[in-house]
Amino acid sequence: MRGDGKRIFVLGLDGLGLTLMEKLLARKVMRSLEGLLSLGTLREMRSVLPTVSSVAWASYATGVNPGKHGIFGFLERIPDPFQLYIPNGSHLRHETIFQFLGREGLRVATIGVPMTYPPRPVNGIVVGCFLSPSLEKAVYPRRILPLVRKMGYMVDVQASKAMEDPEGFLAQLSDSLDARFRLCLHLLEAEDWDFFQLHVMETDRINHFFLAKWEDKEEPWAEMFIQWYRRLDSWIEVLVRKLIHGLENGTTELFILSDHGFCRVFGEVELNFWLRKNGYLRLGGGSNLASMERGTRAYSITPGRIYLNLKGRETMGSVEEGKEYEELRSELSERLLSVEDPRTGQAVVRRVYRKEEIYSGAFMDLAPDLIVEPVPGFDMKARTEAQSVVHEPMVTGMHTLDDAFLFLMPGELPQMKLELTDVISGIARRLGLELRWKPDGRNW
Amino acid sequence: MNEGFTIWFTGLTGAGKTTIARLVAEELRRRGKKVELLDGDEVRKHLSDGLGFTREDRDKNVLRIGYVCKLLSRNGVVAIGAAVSPYRETRERLRAELGDFVEVYVKCPLSVCRQRDHKGIYRAFEEGKISRVSGLDDPYEEPESPDVVLDTAKTTPQECVSEVMRALEELGYVRPEMGEEGPYNETEKALVEKRLSDLGYI
């Protein structure tokens, strides 16, 4: 237990890369944020592989790598009998900072943080993430449901609208952002809290569909993109005003972070098509992974995860453990590095990792055998029905491993490029606590 | 993550510690936990045979139970201690030594405990046959910041179990149950899959 009364507010800006943020600041789109950044320290941060929000925020909240928390993507497989499912918070196999702080007697509130659906009861409030099918199932405790509804809160926007009705989609992004901040500002006043985390998901969504249009100066979308970021900036200003007293007298510290960077997509890379074309993957009549045939040696799940069809592990495993497994991993790693975009001859794979190179822990059995890090601009997909290795993208923005950031005020961040797993030990320490587990991230 | 921890029930004789502890143990076993219940009266027959009710002997009994709880919990067992454990300082020592320690104060007015008197302790005291009864001629020091307070004069044992389970869920020791359909029913699963698919995530 601690008693110094210090509080921490964390603002998560999903997928707002450092580069994009700096461009927006340079163009004076986010003046409040610019002013704020001059009052604290900002560092670049590296995300995780695979670079998706579920893995990234699970790694942030636990301070450990996926091998220890068990989340490797938005889709997971049971190898035998083969089945795919969507991992959610109930599959997160490690204690989170939220749970830890609650257990230490601190009041916690989180809004929209990925992997918080289903909401685990906590000493405080949880409004679950976009993996929640409904608002009703997203909130803990139930008493806050009427309030969350009244604020117009949405668990997510409708991404399908982005192409059908881009203007409507942008309006929904604004509505959703407004509701998120309204709810946050209300709870800041109405609830006791020692730790509060507001997650803005809309930054990721707008970047997926409008970043490239902005870069291409495609009007009216480029201007609407800018206007949307101005709106975010206004909310940040309101938020900081609400926190200003604590920030000034040092009783509140503000963390702002993003979980990955963003870039435009030049091509989607279909790893299952490549595996099929090269004889590693054989699909039966069903043309999905459940119809894999005996001769299959490897298959992929989005993004960039490759599993060998290992005997004794997979339904119709064909690859022997040991020498054959290792040789196949080497062969695939080497061949994948030479995959090119046939339109330009450009390499699409930056690096291929063996799982033990980047993961460790009790859940290594869930880890893909190989993890493909793309060249930024080439989004790794795994559609079994694909007709080419590289094709034009459906979604024009993608996540990047580098270019996430962490900002802290007041206070100093260590002088180094940070990892997502570094953050929570700093949070705990600022609250006068030591984590009960050893994070993979560094202590500071 | 080690799944072991200790739940410690403290309260006057007759407050309902053993009853609720047994029900909580049952509920935890139903949820797949390995559980061991160490009841103060039972332990006195074995581990603490010969100890009396002086402060020193009471402390010894409590610390012995606590020690066994520590061994069990570090091996992944949920250890449940149920003993009057009347002294605050001793309970705080347990909390410090055990770490993962959930203190449940089973609160009940002395008058109600005396009415219940299943063990005949209060009657024996009134008849002058025994002394050193907590709450009467020996102090019972209420916990200052227990993790859970159960008012057994006003709530049913089953409600008390729900309160304890909710606290264990909030403290992160036990995962909440999702109901039969789990996080998603078929319609919800399709909805979330579409959401992720529209983003190109799956």
Q: Does residue A1 surpass a pLDDT of 60? A: no
Residues of B in contact with A122 (CB under 8 A): 170, 172
A159 CB near a chain B CB, below 8 Å?
Answer: yes
Domain map of chain B by residue range? Answer: 5-198
Residues of B in contact with A86 (CB under 8 A): 184, 189, 192-193, 196, 202
Identify the structural domains of chain A with CATH numbers, from first to last.
7-264+399-430 (3.40.720.10), 267-391 (no CATH)
| pLDDT confidence tier of residue B1, bands split at 50, 70 and 90 | low
B96 CB near a chain A CB, below 8 Å?
Answer: no
What percent of chain A lies above the pLDDT cut of 70?
A: 99
Q: What's the rounded Cα separation, in Å, for the pair B2 and A442?
A: 23
**A340 - beta bridge partners?**
A347
Q: Does residue B169 surpass a pLDDT of 90? A: no
**A33 - beta bridge partners?**
none
Determine whether the interchain pair A74/B175 forms a contact, defined as Cβ–Cβ distance below 8 Å.
Answer: no
What is the rounded average pLDDT of the residues B172-180?
A: 77
Class of domain B5-198: alpha beta
> Looking at this predicted complex, what is its ipTM?
0.94
What percent of chain A lies above the pLDDT cut of 90?
A: 92
Write down the residue that tokens 């880890």 correspond to. A367
Angle at A328 between CA A327 and CA A333, to 5 degrees: 100
Q: Which of B85, B131, B134, B197 is catalytic?
A: B85
What is the rounded average pLDDT of the residues B34-55?
A: 90
Determine whether the interchain pair A121/B169 forms a contact, defined as Cβ–Cβ distance below 8 Å.
Answer: yes
Q: How many CB atoms lie within 10 A of CB B93?
A: 15
pTM beyond 0.90: the answer is no
Pick from B35, B47, B138, B125: nearest CA to B85: B138
Q: Does residue A369 surpass a pLDDT of 80? A: yes
**Could you confirm whether B48 is annotated as catalytic?**
no
Residue B84 makes CB contacts below 8 A (sequence gap 6+) with B10, B11, B12, B13, B17, B40, B58, B134, B140
pLDDT of residue B172: 81
What is the rounded average pLDDT of the residues B135-154?
A: 94
> For the stretch A150-180, what's the b/e string if a residue is b when 16 or more beta carbons lie within 10 angstroms of its beta carbon?
ebebbbbbbbebbeeebeebbebbbebbbbb
- CA B189 to chain A, closest CA, distance in angstroms equals 8
pLDDT of residue A401: 97
pLDDT of residue B179: 65
